[in-house]
Structure 1
Amino acid sequence: MSETNRIEYKEKLTKDLDLEKEVIAFLNYLEGGLIYIGIDKHGKTLGVNDIDGDMLKIKDRIKNNILPSAMGLFDVVTEERDSREIIKIIVAGGSEKPYFKKKYGMTEKGSFIRVGTAAEPMPQTMIDKLFATRTRNSIGKIKSHRQDLNFEQLHIYYQENGKPLNKQFKKNLELLTEDGFLNYAAYLLADVNNVSIKVAKYKGLNRVELIENNEYGYCSLIKATKSVLDKIAVENTTFATITSKQRIERKLWSPIALREAIYNAIVHNDYTREVPPKFEIFDDRIEITSAGSLPEGLSEVDFFEGVSIPRNKELMRVYRDLELVEQLGSGIPRILESYGKECFRFMDNFTRMTFPASEKVTEQVTEQVTEQVTEQVLKLLSKVDQNEYTTTELMNLSDIKHRPTFLYNYLQPALDAELIEMTIPDKPKSSKQKYRLTEKGKQF
């Protein structure tokens, strides 16, 4: 493969290689691009000798030599090609153009743009125009209305990931405005805030009959994200066909696509509108809605081809540090592997992803329940219809003579699994006690 407007090859990383120029050119380019280290200009794979050392140098150079900060807008990963290891630098188009070399500032000597297969100096008129229209309405530039914020949860998450935060973490993670105040990104990641994410569940195909309404938030966005993931993982029920010999399972939705969609909705939500993302489960689908449509200048074609313009680079950086999201531009392709482009809907102020369910949602039996079901319980359920039965009647239906065996191996496990219930639950030993199928039992 030869070089293109979005692909640049470099034989090796040296002090003389103007890596910053190439990165800046892609940051200033709408579609971003890829820089490969270890491939010559003809596309021949040479490999990299010191992968770890070179990756560290690349990250340091991009972090320290480019302004505005490119953190959250690039990834440095390894890749194998022709049995050799190379380095791939993934650069997203930035929203704070013009980007430039810290040493030279916003001048033709410091700013570059991708022209064909080369990084060319940006004309001063273009630099001035881009600076005049630079996006100001971002969570990194908005001052938090609260400055008494604590970050114990964030410290814990970084510590658990082997990346303890130092005293300069607010500056390093870009949680401060240019004049040193905590910004809105800091507010979202703080231990206490007023942001809550809703996970709602409805019976039927519309929003008329609400079954559950859960809210996760008022805490670090990282913690809220994990809570949403856990809740929807439970809802992504395993539908199981169980016999005495085998168990055939399938999920309501693709776990990989669902996970990517959740992260995408939370990390790229437009929080400047003060509207958090929401997750809604219906009988035939799950809808994931986030505030904000496509970033300015990004078309649907660009979006589906994996072009990445992170809306909240501060959040993207933290989520990548904690290994919650992978490399830039990888989420949408993973979703498209399971669901077509038609699952996306771009509105004026919102973006919605809709994943159809493989089965009717409210008829599923959870994984936890199905794992409790034994052959004895299956036998009991197969004999019971919609009527109410005494213990003796259930024993006769199941053809069990020994009462203790029936109670401990058949009836009690069915009660524990909530597949059968008492008609008089507040008086378990009542002489008038009978048993019937629960709603779960009927579904099962």
Structure 2
Amino acid sequence: MRETRILEFKETITNTFLKTVSAFSNYDGGEILFGVDDDGNIKGLSDVKQACLDIENKINDSISPQPNYTLEIQNNEQTIKLSVKSGLQKPYLYKSKAYKRNDTATIEVDTLEFSRLVLEGKNIRFEELPCKDQELSFEILQSNLKEKIQIETFNKDTLKTLNLYDDANGFNNAAGLLADKNHFPGIDIVKFGENISIIQKRITFENTSVLGIYEKALSVFRDYYQYEVIQGADRKMVEKIPEAAFREAIANALIHRVWDVDSQIRVSMFDDRTEVVSPGGLPSGITEDEYLSGKLSVLRNRNLANVFYRLGFVEIFGTGITRIKQIYSEASVKPSFEVSENAIQIVLPIYEENANLTEDEKVVYKLLSKNMLKSMSEIAPYISFGKSKTTKLLKDMEQKGVITIEGKGKGTKYRIK
């Protein structure tokens, strides 16, 4: 047993545990085990009943507002388990400060994080706050509403219906994000060559409607990952990366990112993949597993998401990741997803049909490139197989017509066919 982000050990009862109570109450909840040392060994408490009273008194006297917790005596009356639930009246303060967990440590939140807790405690989202710009125009939004869902009349009532305006506060931040001109960041797109040292093109879309940014990002994507093939009298559009998957990734980034930080959504385009990184981790109330499996959807920017939904840019809320996985269901290399505290990354690989590759072959295949030959020394360090097995897997994939092998002996190199 070891400490985690939601589990802490305390061999004795000192006031330091109160910071963790604040952290658990402010975020995802957790447990503190008293009478257990840092290595998870049970040391026991001399008087657990008195210890329970001490813990309860310390929490009630020091944490404001009152957190939601329970105490349970365990291990033959040797230890105490303090279970703290995520609270609704955030922020929960200890000595006028709010705390959060950083892996197994408890640290004070910064000013930005504190303001987010205040808004969450009031059940207010950043997108609902009054926009600092009140002189806004909406030609891009109006055009999309007319084209996509045939709304001919566009006025203040339209904006009220979309929850972008109210008479008391004017335009909110969601309206600002959809306005033709605004102060918000957008998307930074970089097209790389064979490696990240070679930048072929860079373009940034910002300070304009997220609807326009969405369409411009798609246009850049099409330039790099789509081309036409002439077959007789017909023209066939070929997609190196499925546009439907990229649409979901970009819409997901725009809808679910945090907008209170001046940071761009980063799109990195390579010959064999595209990476989309959006600022902000998961919103409160959803785990990484729930997010990746599509079991649960928590909207960080509900009003913005509603506009994207009405315009048909996204389908049912919370299905974006699931749809991307479905699009790649028959592909040799699957998309990958990485969730951290401050960012979410989606990697969309070049779409290659699954040529009945084994699981071991897929591991090796992911390391190969379509445009660059790789030697065994460039492949072997990244896989757990031995050299002989890797060589056999590569030969098997060549026989399946998936890869090409060039050269002989130590000069042998491999690439995707």
User: TM (normalized to structure 1)?
Assistant: 0.47
**1:215 aligned to 2:204?**
yes
Q: Name which of 222, 228, 240 aligns with 2:217.
A: 228
Q: Which runs of structure 1 show a deviation greater than 4 angstroms over 4 or more consecutive aligned residues?
A: 131-134, 242-250, 339-342, 358-363
CA contact 2:328–2:351 (8 Å) conserved in 1: no
Aligned to 2:192: 202
SS in 1 for 2:171: coil
1:317 counterpart residue number: 306
Secondary structure (helix, strand or coil) at the match of 1:351 reads strand
Aligned counterparts of 2:370 and 2:181: Cα–Cα separation in 1: 34
1:238–1:146 distance in 2 versus 1, CA, 3 Å: same
Structure 1 equivalent of residue 414 of structure 2: none
Letter of the structure 1 residue corresponding to residue 342 of structure 2? N
**Over residues 239-271 of structure 1, what are the superposed CA-to-partner deviations in whole Å (9 max), with x where a residue is unaligned?**
86x888999975321222222111111121111
Shift of 1:321: 1.5
Structure 2: distance between partners of 1:168 and 1:244? 53
Unaligned stretches of 5+ in structure 1?
Answer: 1-29, 31-128, 364-444
- Taking the aligned partners of 1:141 and 1:244, their CA distance within structure 2 comes to 55
AA of the residue aligned to 2:254? I
Residue aligned with 2:201, SS: strand
Aligned-partner residue type, residue 348 of structure 1: E
Aligned position for 1:347 = 340
Cα 1:249/1:223, change in 2 over 3 Å: closer
Q: Tell me, yes or no, if the aligned pair for 1:191 and 1:219 is still in contact at 8 Å.
A: yes
Q: Unpaired runs of 5+ in structure 2?
A: 1-27, 29-86, 92-118, 353-368, 373-417
Other-structure match for 1:130 = 88
Percentage of pairs with the same residue: 28
Amino acid across the alignment from 2:192: Y
Does structure 1 retain, via aligned residues, the 8 Å contact 2:277–2:344? yes
The amino acid that maps onto 2:245 is A
Q: 1:19-418 alignment to 2 at 5 Å?
A: 130-132=88-90, 135=120, 138-160=125-147, 161-163=149-151, 164-176=153-165, 179-194=168-183, 195-206=185-196, 208-238=197-227, 250-306=238-294, 307-339=296-328, 343-358=336-351
Cα 1:192–1:328 change in 2 (3 A) is same
Partner of 2:407: none
**What is the CA–CA distance in structure 2 between the aligned matches of 1:234 and 1:189, rounded to whole Å?**
25
User: Offset of 1:297 from its aligned partner?
Assistant: 2.6
Aligned to 1:405: none
**Equivalent residue number for residue 47 of structure 1:** none
1:358 Cα shift? 4.5
The 3 A distance-change label for structure 1 pair 271 and 361 is farther
**Alignment coverage as a number of residue pairs:** 235
Given residue 172 of structure 2, which amino acid in structure 1 is its aligned partner? Answer: N
Q: Is the 8 A contact 1:170 1:176 kept in 2?
A: yes
Question: Relative to 1, partners in 2 of residues 1:301 and 1:196: Cα closer, same or farther, differing over 3 Å?
Answer: closer
| Partner amino acid, structure 1, of 2:336 | C
Q: 1:239 to 1:149 in 2, by over 3 A?
A: closer
In the alignment, the residues of structure 2 paired with residue 246 and residue 185 of structure 1 have an alpha-carbon distance, to the nearest angstrom, of: 44
1:326 is paired with a residue whose SS is coil
Pair 249,298 (structure 1): closer, same or farther in 2 beyond 3 Å: same
Instruction: Tell me the amino acid that sits aligned with residue 88 of structure 2.
Output: L
- Cα deviation, residue 166, structure 1: 3.6
Report the residue type matching 2:206 in the other structure: G
Is contact 2:192-2:269 (8 Å) kept?
yes
Deviation at 1:178, TM superposition (A): 9.0
* Structure with max Cα Rg: 1
- Normalising by structure 2, we get a TM-score of 0.50
Greater relative contact order (Cα 8 A, min sep 6): structure 1 or 2?
Answer: 1
